[in-house]
Amino acid sequence: MADAKRYFREHLSVGDYYSEGQHVSGHWFGKSAAELGLSGVTGVDEFVRLCENRHPQTGEQLTLRQNTTPMGTDASGEEHQAANRRVFYDFTFSPPKSVSIAALAGDDTRIAQAHDRAIVEALKQLESFAATRVRKNGQCADRATGNIVAAVFRHDTSRALDPHLHSHCILFNATYDAVEKQWKALQNHDMLVAQKFVENVYYQELTRELVKFGYQIENKPRGDFEIKSVSLELIEKFSKRHRQIDEKTRELLAREPEKAQGNVAAIRENIAHKERPPKVRDMALSQLQTMWDGQMTTAERRSLRNLAVAEKQMVHASATVAEKAVAWAEEHVFERRSVLQEHELWRHALEHARGENIQLADIQAVTRQRDYIRDGGKVTSREHLEREWEIVARPKMAVVVAMRSLLIAGPAIASWMMNNAMRSTGS
């Protein structure tokens, strides 16, 4: 709890440098936020009350589980305090480095505003995956709630003071269960599963506006994109914090080589949080821009000024663009798996159409017309299911495959498999 309060005062509200006494203003987001009477700028008092699991207006306890610190025992046998309630989750969105360079070193204020709008669209999708746990009357399941209470803080530098546009989206551990008519802890499992889809909603909304501003984008094999004509040398020059983390990771793995077999990404993330340089006080963005300008060559400064041509009128892409994007996604995803979450199709379709003037709704309109077999959020195509059935439909295996589908894919898809099994076995 103390860390949560400190996180607001020392990180969220001041960013990675102190801007001459100015503070970063967070903004409330979410259906639950509105239900709790929260809107506009995030105040510290309301933030702290939510951290303490209290209603931000009345101060009453919000969810059933209260903040306590029971005593626990670690592997060495020593006693220590262990919090039994998560306070909040921090989902962070950031564009590729070239976008931060154009926005901040290039002083194009339109990009930061487009970033904010893209964050809103992405969070709307993230909110749709909110759920809570149901542990009553022998039930052990999750129930969709579709509402969150969040505070969004936009920062503009890394701790190494490089241009780094990013937003921390603080999701408090509370959601309203309309069935039980009470506030409960947030179950974030489906949100984490859908994280790549949500990220691609953010990317698509941002790139649509970048193209409108006159920038050219280039999609990368790793799944993101960069602004064309921002050189790799300039990106590397303004990635000092990334290099610091890389170096610390190499040093750790050299000392403890057995950890190289584990989750290196998690190791890097831990180093990023634990080994931060101190914040720099009393610097304005104008001073940072002067510092960034001094790090660039004359050619790099000229190239940055010439990145965006005149803003252009955008014409909404035809339905054919969305159709082709979905067809590509189907071919790309279904060749590896016969059953998947529908948002995975949306994610890959958005990635394929990135930079086109279409939105998620255009992609969803196409998939709604598809003759998928649906089960909750999962889908499969009849063509792929029939092809898979031809491979496995031997009399002794048919029922086994159908039962396995029930466990993995869900009852609707398993029903299709069971009907084929019965026809194959004559039972």
Print burial letters for 260-296: b (CB count within 10 Å at least 16), e (below 16).
eeeeeeebbeebbeeeeeebbeebeeeebeeebeeeb
Token code pair at residue 184: 């409960």
What is the sign of the dihedral through the CA atoms of 39, 43, 45 and 48? positive
In Å, what is the CA distance from 29 to each residue of 127, 147, 405, 421? Answer: 10, 10, 39, 49
Cα(213)–Cα(340) distance, integer angstroms: 36
Token code pair at residue 287: 């001073």
- 18 belongs to the catalytic site: yes
Asked if 259 and 267 touch (Cβ cutoff 8 Å), the reply is yes
Which of 17, 176, 202, 372 does the annotation list as catalytic?
17
Nearest to 279 by CA among 24, 26, 90: 24
- 203 belongs to the catalytic site: no
Token code pair at residue 407: 């466990």
List the catalytic residues.
17-18
